[in-house]
Amino acid sequence: MEFKDAFGKKYTLSIKDVKEELKDADILALMNGILVNNLISTENGSLVEKVSANVITKETTEVEI
């Protein structure tokens, strides 16, 4: 998840091992909650804007030896 702080600087928050059934609405609700409740403060002040969010998946394929 990427946010901007009060000075327009990008702040990235990563969460590992999210549930497979996670929906876009869940991510947006979390991001909104972080902003509305002022949960994260940077050296440049509070986070003030959502920029983007990505769910990155990892697939492992075994190689036969």
DSSP string over 11-65? EE----S--TT--HHHHHHHHHHHHHTT--EETTEEEEEEEE---------PPP-
Residue 39: which domain range? 2-52
Say if 38 falls within a structural domain: yes
Say if 65 falls within a structural domain: no
Q: What is the pLDDT of residues 13-56, one digit of tens each?
A: 999 988 888 999 999 999 999 999 999 999 999 999 999 999 98
Say if 11 falls within a structural domain: yes
Say if 57 falls within a structural domain: no
The answer, as to whether pTM is greater than 0.75, is yes
As for how many domains the chain has, the answer is 1
Say if 23 falls within a structural domain: yes
Say if 35 falls within a structural domain: yes
